């Protein structure tokens, strides 16, 4: 735990590894490990986020709920704008 707190590059490395595995899952790059590697890296990243939240006294549950609420509002507003544009014949989704 202390190593993560003193060397943030460990977390960045985990996220980089996860990105490579996701690209492999999408067929963009070749990488061994498959589903097991994906599960492992997701767990590593989650662990790092939990440790960082603890270290910086972040109420992760409250932050997550606020963030999801904001995303939901943005998505809803975008959907309304898109529907209004379609009704006026100004579809810019192409």
* pLDDT, position 11: 84
Q: Which helix (H) or strand (E) holds 5?
A: helix 2-6
pLDDT at 58 over 90: yes
pTM of the model: 0.69
Query: Residue 14 burial (CB < 10 Å; 0-12/13-18/19+)?
Result: buried
> How far from each other are the two terminal CA atoms of the chain, in whole angstroms?
48
**Model confidence at 80, in pLDDT bands (50, 70, 90)?**
confident
Angstrom CA distances, 85 to 19, 29, 77, stand at 35, 38, 12
pLDDT at 34 over 80: yes
């Amino acid at each position: 735990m202390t190593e993560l707190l003193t060397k943030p590059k460990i977390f960045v490395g985990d996220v980089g590894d996860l990105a490579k595995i996701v690209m492999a899952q999408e067929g963009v790059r070749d990488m061994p490990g498959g589903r097991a590697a994906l599960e492992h890296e997701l767990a590593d990243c989650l662990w790092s986020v939990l440790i960082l939240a603890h270290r910086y006294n972040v109420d992760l549950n409250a932050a997550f709920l606020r963030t999801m609420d904001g995303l939901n509002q943005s998505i809803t507003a975008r959907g309304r704008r898109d529907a209004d544009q379609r009704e006026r014949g100004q579809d810019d989704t192409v």
